[in-house]
């Protein structure tokens, strides 16, 4: 059986990871915009 701790880490970790994904994209677009590198 998967332990409760593993399931908790999997679920909470995936949500944090997904949120970090959105933040990463926003940081990248700001960086590309500043460097005139978007297109």
Partner 1 sequence: MGANQSHVLDPTTGIVLLAVFGMLWIALGMWWGRRAKDNEGFMLAGRNVGLALGTATAMATWITSNTTMMAPVFALKQGVWGMLAYATASFGLLLFAPMALRIRNLIPRGFTSGDFFRLRFGNVAWGIFLLISLLYSMSWLVTMAIAGGELVNALSGIHYVTGLTVILAVCILYTLFGGLFAVIGTDFIQSIIILVGIVIIGAVVLTRTDIPEMANHLSAEQPALVSIFMPVALLAVFNNMFFGFGEVFHNNVWWSRVFAMRKSVAPKAFFLAGLLWFPIPIAAGFIALSAGSLGINIPNENMTGPLVASRIMAGDGGAFYAGIIIFVVLFCSLASSIDSLLAATSDLLTRDGFEKFIKRGKAVADHTLRRAGRYAIVATGLAAWLVALPRWPIQNALFLSGPLVASVIWPVIAGLYWKKANHHFVIAAMLLGSAAGLVAYFTIGWFTASLVSVAVSMVLTVAGRLLAPRHFDWKSMNA
**34 counts as binding partner 1 under rule CB under 8 A:** no
HEC states along the chain?
CCCHHHHHHHHHHHHHHHHHHHHHHHHHHHHHHHCCCCC
**2 counts as binding partner 1 under rule CB under 8 A:** yes
Minimum distance from residue 11 beta carbon to partner 1 (Å):
5
User: Under a CB-based contact definition with an 8 Å cutoff, are residues 19 and 27 in contact?
Assistant: no
Rule CB under 8 A: which residues touch partner 1?
1-2, 4, 7-8, 10-15, 17-19, 21-22, 24-26, 28-29, 31-32, 37-39
């Amino acid at each position: 059986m998967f332990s409760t701790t593993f399931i908790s880490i999997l679920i909470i970790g995936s949500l944090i990871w997904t949120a970090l994904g959105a933040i990463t994209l926003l940081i990248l677009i700001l960086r590309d915009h500043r460097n005139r590198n978007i297109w």
